[in-house]
Structure 1
Amino acid sequence: MNAQPTPDRPSPQDRPARLTVGVVGAGRVGPALAASLQLAGHRPVAVSGVSDASLRRAAEILPGVPVVPPAEVLARAELVLLTVPDDVLPGLVAGLAETGAVRPGQLLAHTSGRHGAAVLDPATRAGALPLALHPAMTFTGTPVDVQRLAGCSFGVTAPEELRLAAEALVIEMGGEPEWIDEAARPLYHAALAIGANHLVTLMAQAMELLSAAGVGNPSRMLGPLLGAALDNALRSGDAALTGPVARGDAGTVAAHVTELRRHAPQAVAGYLAMARTTADRALAHGLLKPELAEDLLGVLADEANAAGGTGGAGGPGGTNGPDGTAGSGPVDGGEQ
């Protein structure tokens, strides 16, 4: 990888290489973070991977760095990045601690959004220094991710005595540290999932519906609209709400649901849930007139009842599957 230093990332010769870096889980996240630390003068020395895709990714983003088992990664590195899915992380940490792989004084940093530093307690009891460094960014698993880290916010959680070290590592990766209390990590992660993961689902569904309506290039139609909507929402919050729900156009909303039932019944539950949430927020912020809200909320309630209540494919309450690739065991870990 031939990423170049930027004003925010001093060249390696401008600062000494202070830490050897290892990665457990060569998914989309770990190699990018290690490569970014390499630009800051640190030295990646080992990476573990499970799948063929992870091995190719490690070879592309961290060329020349040996692929070894997770315990060997810990044996070689002073700073270890645990970049595995949220649900895999507790078992991985416990397995590494039980096998004696953790060394006293070793920096152990995970990239889970859900977990704080407490998930590393088994390793902390073995003498490790625990850090939670979660980049608020989607990753492609290609070298472009290293450049995308510039200006990316990281949710940082660590013991108070390690706070400066955690924040310094984030800054060296070109990121912006944002301190998150241990107890607030699940709420923080839920907010990001709503904003990013659900956005992808909504956009994919919107493109499918436009295609069904005969639009030849849905992404071209949605691009300017969504760009403006995102910009307005980030600037103005609920004041940026527009459309039939915010206006109280109950007849239009009813017509939408009728068409969705006919052409895309799987989209009805999501439409009703988001319309109700939008109506509640528009009403609370004075955008939806109370006299119009009654008819609108009545339509939404009637349609929700017609959809069969909650649960199942036709009603609200369904969930997506887990994000990331599951690991092969508590010590081998998965890849994030």
Structure 2
Amino acid sequence: MVDVSTDRHGVRSGTDADSPRTAAHERSRPRLRVGVISAGRVGSVLGAALRRSGHELGGVAAVSDAALNRVAELLPGAPVRPPDEVAEQADLVLLAVPDDALDGLVRGLVRAGALRSGQIVVHTSGAHGVEVLEPAASVGAMPVALHPAMTFTGRPEDLERLTAATVAVTARQDDEAGFSVGAALAVELGAEPVRIAEESRRLYHAALTHGANHLVTLVNESAQLLRAAGVEAPDRVLAPMLSAALDNSLRYGDRAITGPVSRGDAGTVRGHLEVLGESEPEVLAGYVQLAKRTAARAESSGMLRSDDAVGVNEVLDGGWR
């Protein structure tokens, strides 16, 4: 466990929870009082992770029945309060709200006098860096952006998934204390901190969205096609192949590309386009676009010969009709 006891703007040196020195003063060292706004899938899990690491949960904002159920399951006994009251009593204010709601929330908390000098104000948006927290910084709070690179269900199993995740940490330029605080919090969540510059935040988030969110669409469309082909349990067919494809792509990059496009089998690709056009036309456009990108990457990596790439692309550009 890393000690993130803070003064106005800093963090004490992190220490190993297993060391005798740390164990000796574990009970006496100050901890942070955490306020969570709000108890969505992300906020409830991160609040539970911080509580598990030894911090005090001072309050949580929750309105919907689903949010209140998550509080009962993941944050039992946590006081449920309005957002301004949650922020007022917190040393660490965790803002886990949708991207587009973040700016208005921060400004509203500042206007309400709920944020103050000496607090750490953290948001969990992947799309934003710390610029959106400037109103909090203007009253003396330390702004930090933390984004766990994982998908959340809002269930207890997410706590274990965090231990295999990374957390993007962004602080103000040249604010090493802020980065140290963010990195320490990431470790206390059970994850590995990765430093992302403010100007790179949107590109970072686009990368994750393209990989994770679009993967879900791709997998579900594959399952849809298998069901249309009469396969009753498409998950049993897809799981081993997709697991191997993911592992190989992370290990070997474009050298992991397989299939008819990488082999230059234009006739097979034509057959795919014909059957999709007849039976699943809504999937056809996605197949064509991904096949074109696959052909380009396979050719540039040497997996697909240039003359074979010409034939494949002719089919993809409408030669199958």
Q: Which residue of the other structure, out of 92, 96, 100, is the alignment partner of 2:113?
A: 100
The CA deviation at 1:17 is 4.9
Pair 1:131 & 2:134 matched: no
- Relative to the length of structure 2, the TM-score reads 0.89
Gaps of 5+ in 2: 1-15
SS of equivalent to 2:146: strand
Query: Residue 91 of structure 1: CA displacement?
Result: 1.6
Aligned AA for 2:74?
Answer: I
CA-to-partner distance for each residue in 1:289-326, whole Å, 9 max, x for gaps?
1111111111111269x7xxxxxxxxxxxxxxxxxxxx
| Secondary structure of 2:36's aligned partner | strand
Letter in 1 for 2:268: T
1:266-307 deviation per Cα after TM superposition (whole angstroms, max 9, x unaligned) = 101111110111011011111111111111111111269x7x
1:9–1:174 CA contact under 8 A, matched in 2: no
Matching residue of 1:163: 179
Cα distance in 1 for residues equivalent to 2:63 and 2:279: 42
Shift, 1:82, TM fit = 0.3
Q: Which amino acid aligns with 1:250?
A: A
Partner of residue 32 from structure 2, selected from 6, 19, 22: 19
Question: Where in structure 2 are the equivalents of 1:114-263 lying within 5 Å?
Answer: 114-159=127-172, 160=175, 161-263=177-279
Query: Does the CA-based 8 Å contact 1:9-1:40 persist in structure 2?
Result: no
Q: Secondary structure at the match of 1:91?
A: helix
Shift of residue 98, structure 1, vs aligned partner? 2.2
Q: How does 1:279-318 map to 2 (within 5 A)?
A: 279-302=295-318
**Structure 1 residues 147-180: Cα deviation after superposition (integer angstroms, max 9, x where no partner):** 2111310000013231111111111111100000
The answer to whether the aligner puts 1:37 opposite 2:86 as a matched pair is no
Question: In angstroms, what is the RMSD of aligned CA positions?
Answer: 1.8
1:83 counterpart (76, 89, 96): 96
> What CA distance in whole angstroms lies between the structure 1 residues aligned with 2:231 and 2:319?
27
Secondary structure of 1:46's partner?
strand
CA contact (8 A) 1:22 1:74 kept: yes
In 1, distance between residues paired with 2:170 and 2:225? 41
| TM-score when normalising by structure 1 | 0.85
- Give distance in 2, aligned partners of 1:149 and 1:194: 21
The verdict on how the C-alpha distance between 1:122 and 1:303 changes in structure 2, with shifts beyond 3 A counting, is farther
Deviations 1:223-276 (A, max 9, x none): 110111111111101000000111111111111111111111110111111011
Q: Give 1:270's match in structure 2, choosing from 282, 286, 293.
A: 286
Structure scoring higher RCO (CA < 8 A, sep ≥ 6) equals 1
Using the TM superposition, give the Cα deviation of residue 99 of structure 1 relative to its aligned residue in structure 2, in angstroms. Answer: 2.3
- The Cα of 1:87 is off from its aligned counterpart by 1.6
Q: Retained in 2: the 8 A contact 1:246–1:282?
A: yes
- Which range is displaced more, 207-216 or 14-23? 14-23
Q: Aligned partners of 2:319 and 2:170: how far apart in 1? A: 44
Secondary structure of 1:44's aligned partner: strand
In structure 1, distance between residues paired with 2:68 and 2:277: 45
Q: Deviations over 1:105-150 (max 9, x none)?
A: 1110000111111110111112211000100011111111112111
Q: Percent of counterpart pairs with the same letter?
A: 52
Map Cα deviations across residues 206-239 of structure 1 (whole Å, 9 max, x no partner): 0010000011210000011011111111110100
SS of residue matched to 1:167? helix
Q: Deviations along 1:45-95, whole A, 9 cap, x unmatched?
A: 100023110111111100000111100111111101100111211121122
Q: Partner residue of 2:6?
A: none
* Cα distance between partner residues in 2 of 1:27 and 1:17: 28
Corresponding residue of 1:113: 126
User: After the TM superposition, which parts of structure 1 deviate over 2 Å for at least 4 consecutive aligned residues?
Assistant: 8-17
Q: Is the 8 A contact 1:116 1:185 kept in 2?
A: yes
Q: 8 Å contact 1:17–1:42 — kept in the other structure?
A: no
Distance 1:19 1:226 in 2: 42
